[in-house]
Amino acid sequence: MRCRVNFAGKDWVFTKWKGVVVVSIVIVDDHRIVAEGLARLVQDDPEIRVAGLLGSGEDLLTWLRRADPPDVCVLDLSMPGMNGADLLATLRSQYPSVRVLIVSAAARPEIAARCLREGANGFLSKFRSSESFLEALHAVAAGESYVDRGLFTEVLEFLASHPTGENTVGDLSSREFAVMQRLAEGMSVKEIAATLNLSAKTISTYRARLMKKMNFRSNADLVAYCINRGLIQAIET
């Protein structure tokens, strides 16, 4: 049974479960052990019900076409295929009632700020405690915004100053950010075009824009930047 509650001037839909108002969540992370670990953190919480554990953005969109949207989506930012940035844009346009908590190893203030600008309701580093995850999840579910405590001051300063022309992903659009990640992962322009269902010419335009905004002189600069900020993982050989 689902019920509608007004909070802070907005209507939020929750699920009634054994007499308790329960928030349904879906966890999306390509590392199964991480998704299962997050699910175990809430298994004894009477106010949280895990509706699904999914391994990709494509899996989430398929799931959403078959089931009622959850109250909260917990998303990893860096995933193969459709990543967290792509998903965030899709959720905001197609499922605006779903609240989004980004849980990412890319714990940088400019990345957190970019996610919040794009419509995320919360951002938490994967390096925080289980208590921090529960705090963030409950805050987002209650209609609040949440920023990782370790990044809070820097994120607010970033959002307030809106720096431009600097080496920061905060200046990139969601598409430019998605293209940057995929280039760093070694995908070609044609492969990225096929993945994002865009033309190769359009991807080349995004590439040129992001290279200029980020002051990258080569793909090596781009890859090094993404590795240093946790946007992709270095491949050991």
The pLDDT tens digits of the residues spanning 69-84 come to: 999 999 998 887 777 7
pTM, to two decimals: 0.66
Work out the number of other CB atoms within 10 angstroms of the CB of residue 160: 8
Q: For the domain 169-228, what is the CATH code?
A: 1.10.10.10
The C-alpha angle 200, 202, 204, rounded to 5 degrees, equals 70
pLDDT in tens, 118-144: 888 899 999 999 999 999 999 898 888
Per-residue burial over 181-190, b = 16 or more CB atoms within 10 Å of its CB, e = otherwise? bbbbbebebe
Lowest mean pLDDT among 19-28, 60-69, 175-184, 192-201: 19-28
**What ranges do the domains of the chain cover?**
2-158, 169-228
Note the pLDDT tens digit of each residue in 137-163: 998 988 888 888 888 888 877 766 654
Q: Average per-residue pLDDT in the chain?
A: 80
Instruction: Give burial (CB, 10 Å; 0-12/13-18/19+) of 143.
Output: middle
For residue 108, the 8-state DSSP code is: -
pLDDT computed for residue 160 by the predictor: 64
- What CATH number does domain 2-158 carry, 3.10.20.30, 3.40.50.2300, 3.30.930.10, 3.40.50.1470? 3.40.50.2300
